[in-house]
Amino acid sequence: MLYRKIGTQKESLELSVITFGAWAAGGWMWGGTERKEAVEAIQKSFDAGVTSIDTAPIYGQGLSEEIVGEAIAGIPRDKVQILTKFGMRWDLQKGDFGMHSKNNEGQDIDIYKYAGKESIIKECEDSLRRLKTDYIDLYQIHWPESTTPIQETMEAVAQLIQQGKVRFAGVCNYNVEQLTEASKYVDIVSNQVPYSMLKRDIEAETVPYCLETNKGILAYSPMERGLLTGKIKPGHAFEENDHRANLPFFQEQNLLKINEFLDSIRPIAEEKKASLGQLVLRWTIEQPGITIALAGARNAQQAVQNAAAMDINLSTEEIQGLNAQLSDLLARL
């Protein structure tokens, strides 16, 4: 496993370049979860060198954080990095309306984006309780929201850092303007954003800014919600409540084009005795400005496979060749 640091020379946080993404572990929007398998996936991932875990209260409305807390109970706390978030409430109608959804019991819930100070303080306490820990390594606002000044939000996080409940502050889904504003009130060490072979828009502004200001980029959905593993073929039947069924990349005409591309790069993976997913993960963390890649797993086998992506190497020529093929694909999607 490789490890990279975010933060300053004086104080930094070292993360495994493959970080366990625990959204699917919470079941919500993924058609349910099997708790025992999720716990084992995290533990086997750690055994394979993945020391960093990214979760959020909204994932299963607390369930993902509880599963993470259970999974790391026997691991020395300073050997694992917990990344969690705040700013999405399913139990409070305040802030920006986010979406209608259903919880894991099939009940209707309304989700709001809200990052007022009193809400952040409460959310932090709730997360600490569910995670069974007394501090969070990286605390990230989940989405921007328009009803609370960024100053109020970030000063609340700065207060939590002063109190020792949080070590580092990060953001998710922020643009350059929002990053610049947030950095006035607390040291923002990272931005967690969607990035994959199919979704590269952050390369225009976010990547250059983060490189210039020494901020880490945590790439989420690097395998585009499982699509780039090559296991989702045209005609795939999604489970009920699986959010992917309605996403553009998963529509039939795009599935055909994407699977053609994956078939064309499969020989590279086979030559390296790797899966497509491992090839994709390795490509991701080799891109300029990308610090780590978040990879989810529903079971231990998937988790170990994700970690093993760091056992393969890609040459500069191979990366350039993949990028050329990607440019052609993206022009056709």
Please, which pLDDT band fits residue 241 given cuts at 50, 70 and 90?
confident
Query: Could you read off the pLDDT of 143-177 as tens digits, one per residue?
Result: 999 999 999 999 999 999 999 999 999 999 999 99
Q: Is the pLDDT of residue 26 over 80?
A: no
C-alpha distances (whole Å) from 106 to each of 91, 102, 109 are 16, 5, 9
SS3 274: coil
Q: Which domains does the chain have, with CATH numbers?
A: 3-224+281-313 (3.20.20.100)
Query: Which residue, 316, 247, 240, 260, is CA-closest to 283?
Result: 316
3-class SS string, 191-242? EEEECCCCCCHHHCCHHHHHHHHCCEEEEECCCCCCHHHCCCCCCCCCCCCE
Q: Residue 306: in which H helix or E strand, if any?
A: helix 300-307
Determine if residue 230 is left, alpha or beta; phi over 0 gives left, psi from -120 to 50 gives alpha, anything else beta.
left
What does the pLDDT read at residue 103? 85
- State which of 28-32, 56-60, 142-146, 230-234 shows the largest mean pLDDT: 142-146
Residues with active-site annotation: 59
Q: Looking at per-residue confidence, does 244 or 119 come out higher?
A: 119
The mean pLDDT value for 113-135 works out to 98
The mean pLDDT value for 88-108 works out to 91
Q: Is the pLDDT of residue 310 over 80?
A: yes
Alpha-carbon distance of 16 to 291, in angstroms, equals 9
Q: What percent of the chain has pLDDT over 70?
A: 98
Q: Tokens in use for 230?
A: 């090559």
- Average pLDDT of the chain is 93
Tell me the one-letter amino acid at 198. Answer: L
Start-to-end C-alpha separation, the chain: 34
Please, which pLDDT band fits residue 244 given cuts at 50, 70 and 90?
confident
Please, are residues 192 and 223 in contact by the beta-carbon 8 Å criterion?
Answer: no
Q: Tokens in use for 133?
A: 């820990």
Please, which pLDDT band fits residue 9 given cuts at 50, 70 and 90?
confident
Alpha-carbon distance of 114 to 105, in angstroms, equals 24
Please, which pLDDT band fits residue 50 given cuts at 50, 70 and 90?
very high
φ and ψ at residue 177, rounded to 5 degrees: -60, -45
* Across 21-25, 76-80, 144-148, 291-295, least confident range: 21-25
Q: Any idea what DSSP says for residue 248? A: G
The mean pLDDT value for 6-13 works out to 88
What does the pLDDT read at residue 28? 59
What is the full DSSP assignment across 120-133? HHHHHHHHHHHHT-
C-alpha distances (whole Å) from 198 to each of 111, 157, 210, 249, 254 are 27, 33, 21, 9, 11
Q: Looking at per-residue confidence, does 246 or 326 come out higher?
A: 326
Alpha-carbon distance of 262 to 111, in angstroms, equals 35
What does the pLDDT read at residue 33? 61
